[in-house]
Structures are given as C-alpha cells and as structure tokens.
Structure 1
Amino acid sequence: MDIIILGIYSFFVWLIFIKFKWLPWNIVSQVIVVTIPIIGLVTIILLLNIYTPSSSDVRTINYVVPIVPRVTGQVTEVPIEPNRPIKKGEVLFKIDPVPFEIAVKVAEAAVEEAKVALVTAEAGQRGLEFEVKNAQAKKAALGSQMALAKKRVDQFGQLAGAGAGRGADLETAQAELATLESEIAGAEAAESQVKQKLSALTAAGEIDTVAQAKAKIAKAEADLASAKYDLEGTVHYAPADGRVANLALRPGVRASQIPMAPVMSFIEDNDQWVVAFYRQNELRYVVPGNEAEIFLKTHPGKIIKCKVDSILWATAQGQMPISGNLPNTQAYGAPEQRIAVRLLIEPQDREMFLAAGVRGAGAIYTEHGTALHIMRKIFVRVSTKTDWFVLKLH
C-alpha cells in the first residue's frame, strides 16, 4: 500500500514538475517534494497503528484434556484412530474388566451376608423383648398368688392363736408363701437380666448388634457402589467432540491412574479460542464488539471476519508472590509482555476448520479513524496474498 501511494504521488509530481512544468523544479521544490511523503507516510502509519492496530501474531488455541483412566489395568481395546474426528460419548479405550467384575461380585456377597446378619440381630432383639414380657407376666401372676398366700398365712395364724386351727395348716401356708417369694425373686432377676441386655440401645432405639449389622450393610453397599464405579471406569468415553493426536496407546499396555502420566491428550473442537497479541500501547481504543479481520497461513487469501470478545488484561509480570520475603527484582527491566485479545469468529466463517496452533495475522478496526479503515483492509488483503508463496530451496 505504501508503494502504491508513493507511485501515485510520484506520478503527480512528474506531471506537475516535469511534464507540464507548472511549478519550477529547484532545490526548494525538491526538498518539499521529498519531505511531504515522508511526513505523510509517518503520520498515516502512526494513525493506522492507533486506530486500526494490527498484529502479526494471531493464534488458534484449543482446550486439551489429558485423558487419565479412573482405574489401573491392562488395555484390551483402542477403537479410535489418531487425527480422526471423534464424537462426544464414543469409546476411546477399554481396560480388562475381569478383576473389577470379581470385585463387584465380592461386594454383592458382602451385602447379602450383612443383610443376613441384620435379620439374625433383629430376631435376637425381638426374642429379648418377648422374654421381658414373659418375665413381667410371670411376675404378675406370682404376685397374685403371693397376695393370696399371705392372706392364708394370716388366717391360719389367727385360727391357730385362737386354738381353732391346726398348726400344720399354718406351716403349709408359710411354706407356700416362701416358695412364691423365691419364684418372684427369680422372675425379677430374669427380667432384670433381659432388661440389662435391652438397655444397650442406640439413639435409634436398636440393640448394638442390630446397629452394627445395619452399619455393615451400609458399608457393604458403599463398597459395592465403589466397585461398580470402578467397573464403569474400564470403558473411557470421549468428553466432547474432538480428536486425539499422537496416539500411542495400544492393547496390552498397562494404563495407570496417575494424573501426571495421561495415556493420551484429547483436543476439543468446540469452544476454540482465537487470540491476537498486541503491544500494550496499541489497545487504547480497542473495546469489545470492535470489528476485526484475520488471515491464517493454512488458508491463503482467505479473510476471516471476527469481532473483539474481550481483552485479557493480565500478564505474568502482574503477579507478585505473597510471602515474607522481599520481591527479587532484576537489575535490568524485563521485556514488555504483550496483551492478548480474544476474537470471536463471525457465524459465516465458524464452520471453517482451524487446526489447533495455527498462526497468522490480522487487524482490529476501532470506532476512531474510520477513514483509515479502508487502508488497513487493503494492507490485510495484500498481506494474505503473500501466503500463497512457499519459498523453499529443498
């Protein structure tokens, strides 16, 4: 564009000073003719960089999900191929499920065993409650007999004192009373013993053995759920639409649930970021919603329409560690870190495939200096044509 402007300017200079000689071609005019384009081009370039800032570093960034298996085991199947589109929910790989199926069966048996123990404990609780009721009923019956026996002893005692009764009858009545007292004492002891067993109740009103049995059932069911969860983890599914690059996982490999050793890296296709990096003094007029255009090396000659989504006002230089030590500042100034601007691709270009890590360039058109936008758009379109040329000597 600069060359085109200089060419047009040179043509008019030739017409005015050389062809038609409307003005004299002397030292003064020559200095003016040379000075005007220099000042003009410098002014245009400065205004372009302020009102329509350009970036030579535009990147496409995808989310990369490290795939770590939930369980450790031997891989039996890898049904996917590298660098091929994968839909969300498709199987990425499978792990030998036999050890985990055995663990599920063991957990199921433990649950059944705990349920049997609960039935036995509840039966024992009901038996103790029945014994208490029997002891109380027996004690009540003996109490009635004892009252009758005491009455007979009193009657026989009165008759014997008056000489109207036999002493043998009094002794028999006293013996029966003593027997009843002994039986009542035994019934009270039996009731006390059973009540003592029932006194060991939990807050839920259950005997310890019942509470323990229920706790064992809860633990066994939790172990069963954990075993089933591990069994489900033997089949790993794609977390989103995407693809796997550099696939090295093969059947027979032992996959391990170590976060620092993923078995593959899954590249998501959705929610791709397009980021342009700018110097910090170029963003004074850039705001969300501004029009933008980018071009990428993988699509020579293609202008991709975008708009500014947001400016990432943060760099590593803005992070100061909080500690009791003084910050370690360098003896020289660190280079200025650039600010990232996130761009959103317009709907008409969103179906275009953009590989992760693609590089290119572009420009943002602010609401100021709109007369210069056409010049910047020409620059962008001329620049993207150069991507057609592949300069290699091998």
Structure 2
Amino acid sequence: MELILLIIYSVIVWLIFFKFKLLPWNITSQVIVVTIPVFALTVLILFMNIVAPSSHDVRAMNYVIPIVPRVTGQVTEVPIEPNRPIKKGDVLFKIDPVPFKEAVNAAEAKLAELKVGLITAQAYQRGLDDELKNAQSVTQSIVARLDLAKKRVEQYTSLAAAGAGRRAEQEQAESDVANLQSQIAGAQANESKIKQKIEARTEAGEIDEVAQAKAQIAKAEADLVAAKYDLDGTTHLAPANGRVANLALRPGVRSTQFATMPVMSFIEEDDPWVLAFFKQNELRNVEPGNEAEIFLKMYPGRIIKCKVDSILWATAQGQMPISGNLPNTLPVEMPEQRIAVRLLVEPKDKELFLAAGARGGGAIYTEKGKMIHIVRKVFVRVSTKLDWFVFKLH
C-alpha cells in the first residue's frame, strides 16, 4: 500500500513540476517533495495502527478431545480412517461386548430373584396380623388347659391325702402343669416376637424383611443400570463432527479406561477458535462486535470476514502461584506477552474449513478513524495476494 501511495504521489509531482511546470524544481521544492511523503506516511501508519490495528499472527485452533474408553476390553473393530471427515454419532471403535452382555444377564437374573423375595416378604407382612391372632389363640388355649390341670392336681392331692387316690396320678398331674407352663412361656415368647415385628415397622409401614428386600432390589437395579452403561460403552461414538489424527488403534489391542491413556485424539471442527495476537497498546479501542478481516496462508487471496467476540485479558505473566514461596523475579526482564483476541467467522465463511494450526494475518476495524480504514483494507488485500508466491529455492 505504501508503494501504491508513493506511485500516486510521484505521478502528482511529475505533473506539477515537469509536465505542466506549475512550480519551479529547485532545492526548496525538492526538500519539500521528499519530506511530505515521509512525514505523511509516518503519521498515517502510526494513526492507522491505533484505529485499525493489524496482526501478523492469526491462528485457527480447534478443540482436541482425548478419546478414553468407558470400559476396559479388547478392540474388535475400528471402522474409521485417519484424517478423514467424521460425522457426529459415527462409530469410532468397538470393544468385545460378550463379558458385558453376561454381566447384564446376571444383573437381570439377580433382580428377578430379589423381586420374588420381595413378594414373599410382602405376603409374610400381610400374614403377620393373622399369625398374631393365631399365637394369641394358642396361648389362651394353653392357659385354659393349665387351669384345668391345676384343678386336677388339687383333686389328686386331696384324694391322695384321704387315701382314696394314687400318688402316681398326683405326680402325673403336677408334671402336666409344669409342661403346660413351659408351653405357655414358648407361646408368649412367639407372640411377643410377632408383636415386635409389627411394632418395628418403618415410616412407610413396612417390616424389616420388606424394607431389606426393597433395598436389595434398589441396589440390583443400580447394578443393572451400571452393567447396561458398560455394555453401551463397548461402542464408542464420535462426540462431534471432526476427524481423528494419527490413528494407531487397531483390532486386537486391549484398551483401558484410564484417563491418562487415551486411545486416539479427536479434532472437533464444529466450533473452531480464531485468535489474533496483538501488542497490548494496540487494543485500546478494540471492542466486542468490531469488524475484522483475516487471511490465511492456506487460502491465498481470500479475505475472511469476522467479528470480534472477546479479548482474552490474561497471559501467563499475569499468573502468580498462590503458595508460601516468594515469587521468582528473574534478573532479566521478560518480553511483553501479546494479548489474544477471539474472532468469530461471519456466516458467509462459516462453512470454510479451517485446519487446526492454520496461520495468517488480519486487522480489526474499530469505531474510530473510519476514514482511513480503507487504507488498512488495501494493506490486508495486498498482503494476502503475496501468499500466492512460495519463496523457496528447492
């Protein structure tokens, strides 16, 4: 752009001093002619760097998702190819599902068994009231028999004392009384046990057996869900649109579910980040929503329209570890780190493929100095035209 302006200025000087000879060509005019473009270009560029800052470092970045299996097992199928477009939901790889299917079957069988046990416990709970009535009836029956046995003891004792009865009958009656007293103790204990079960019901009105059965069923259902979840994990699907780079996974490999051991890296392409890096004093007028233009070396001659999304007001130099140690101040001053600005690609170029790591340049057009934005736009377009040339000698 500077060259174009100088050419235009040279043509004007030629017309004034040589073609039409409107002014004399002397030492004074020569000094003025040389000084004007130097001063004007200097002022123009300095002011343009404030109202329309440019960056020679624009990068396209993508999220890289480490793919870690949910389960450990032997890989049976890898139907994808490296560096090929993959749609969201496509199968990345499969793990042998046999042991996980067996775990699901075992969990289902265990759950069915526990449900039968719950039905039995609920039936037992419903029969407790009848069982209590039966126990009380048994106790009352034994008490009646005991009263009769005691009367017989009194009778046999009177007869034996008068010499009209046998001593053996008296002893048998006394033995029956003792036996019935023992039966009453057992019946009362059984009745007390039933009452305790009835009185020890939970807030839901359930006895221990029913509550325990339901708790076991809840655990079995959770185990079944976990088993099905593991079974679903034998087929790993693509989390988004993208591609896999440096694919080394092959059938027969045993994959593990450790987070530090991913089996592949998935490069997401749905939401690429475009970052432009500027010196810190260039961003005084930059605001979200400003117009921006970038160009990438992979697309020579193409201008990509963008909008400023946000300014990442943080660098590594601004982070101080919170600890008991004093900060380390180096003897040599560290170079100033640049500030990144995130740009959003406009809908017109939204479908343009931006490779992770693509580099280029660009500029942001602030709300100030709009009259000279055209100069920056010409600079940007001239710069992207130069990307057509590959300066290499081999």
Moved more, 329-338 or 368-377: 329-338
Structure 1: how far apart are the matches of 2:280 and 2:344? 21
Q: Are the counterparts in 2 of residues 135 and 187 from structure 1 also a CA contact under 8 Å?
A: no
Which residues in structure 2 correspond to 1:196-275 (within 5 Å)? 196=193, 199=196, 201=200, 203=202, 208-275=208-275
| Corresponding residue for residue 302 of structure 1 | 302
- In the aligned structure 2, how far is the partner of 1:130 from the partner of 1:191? 16
SS for the counterpart of 2:332 is coil
Instruction: Say whether the 8 Å CA contact 1:128–1:194 is kept in structure 2.
Output: no
Instruction: Render the CA deviation track for 1:227-268: whole Å, top value 9, x for unaligned.
Output: 221111100011111111221111111111111121111111
- TM-superposed deviation, 1:116: 4.7
RMSD: 3.5
| Partners of 1:82 and 1:142 in 2: CA distance | 87
1:326-374 CA-to-partner distances (Å, cap 9, x unmatched) read 2112112211111111111111111222222211111111111111011
In structure 2, how many angstroms separate the alpha carbons of the residues matched to 1:142 and 1:202? 29
Structure 2 residue identity aligned to 1:220 = A
**Post-superposition offset of 1:16:** 3.0
CA distance in 2, matches of 1:110, 1:22: 106
3-state SS of 1:199 partner:
helix
2:236 counterpart SS class? strand
Shift of 1:275: 1.3
Cα gap change, 1:132/1:195 in structure 2, threshold over 3 Å: closer, same or farther?
Answer: same
Counterpart residue type for residue 230 of structure 1: D
Which residue is 1:84 aligned to? 84
Say if 2:51 and 2:366, in contact at 8 Å, map to a contact too. Answer: yes
**Equivalent residue of 1:41, what SS?**
helix
**Counterpart for residue 160 of structure 1:** none
SS of the residue corresponding to residue 110 of structure 1 reads helix
C-alpha displacement of 1:194? 4.7
- Residue range with higher mean Cα deviation, 139-148 or 252-261: 139-148
**What is the CA–CA distance in structure 1 between the aligned matches of 2:195 and 2:386, rounded to whole Å?**
93
Report sequence identity in percent: 66
* 8 A Cα contact 1:198 1:207, kept in partner: no
- Aligned to 2:187, which of 170, 183, 190? 190
Q: Secondary structure at the match of 2:386?
A: helix
**Partner residue in 2 for 1:25:** 25
| Structure 2 equivalent of residue 164 of structure 1 | none
In the superposition, the TM-score normalised over structure 2's length comes to 0.86
Please state whether the residue corresponding to 1:92 is helix, strand or coil: strand
2: CA distance, partners of 1:37 / 1:180: 134
Bigger Cα displacement from structure 2, 43-52 vs 297-306 = 297-306
**Partner deviation per Cα, 1:162-213 (whole Å, 9 max, x = no partner):** xxxxx98xxx9xx989967963663343222452376364635655555444
Structure 1 range deviating more: 8-17 or 384-393: 8-17
Distance 1:132 1:180, change over 3 A: farther
What are the superposed Cα offsets for residues 61-106 of structure 1, whole Å, 9 maximum, x if unpaired? 1111111000111110111122222221111110011121222223
Counterpart for residue 161 of structure 1: none
The equivalent of 2:384 in structure 1 is 384
Residue 283 of structure 1 and its aligned partner are, at CA, apart by 0.7
The residue type paired with residue 189 of structure 2 is S
Report the alpha carbon displacement of residue 285 of structure 1 after superposing the two structures with TM: 0.7
Hey, what does 1:348 align to over in structure 2? 348
Amino acid at match of 1:28: T
Alignment check: 8 A CA contact 1:142 1:180 kept: no
Cα distance in 1, alignment partners of residues 174 and 331 from structure 2 = 110
Distance in structure 2 (CA, Å) of the matches to 1:302 and 1:49: 22
Q: Are residue 330 (structure 1) and residue 330 (structure 2) matched?
A: yes
Equivalent residues of 1:52, 1:376 under 8 A apart: yes
AA of the residue aligned to 1:186? Q
Residue 110 (structure 1) shift? 2.9
AA at the equivalent of 1:192: A
- Alpha carbons of 1:176 and 1:134: their partners in 2 closer, same or farther (altered >3 Å)? farther
Whether 2:33 is the aligned partner of 1:36: answer no
Q: Secondary structure at the match of 2:326?
A: coil
Call closer, same or farther: CA 1:127–1:177 in 2, change over 3 Å. Answer: farther
CA contact (8 A) 2:146 2:180 kept: no
Any stretches of 5+ residues in structure 1 without a counterpart?
157-166
List gaps (5 residues or longer) in structure 2.
156-163
Aligned residue-pair number: 387
Aligned equivalents of 1:110 and 1:364: distance in 2?
66
Aligned pair 1:53/2:53, yes or no? yes
Q: Tell whether the 8 Å contact from 2:150 to 2:177 is kept in structure 1 after alignment.
A: no
CA distance in 2, matches of 1:94, 1:4: 61
Contact 2:52/2:373, CA 8 A, preserved across alignment: yes
Aligned to 2:14: 14
TM-score by length of 1: 0.86
Note the C-alpha offset of 1:279.
0.7
Distance in 2 (alpha carbons) for counterparts of 1:293 and 1:135: 92
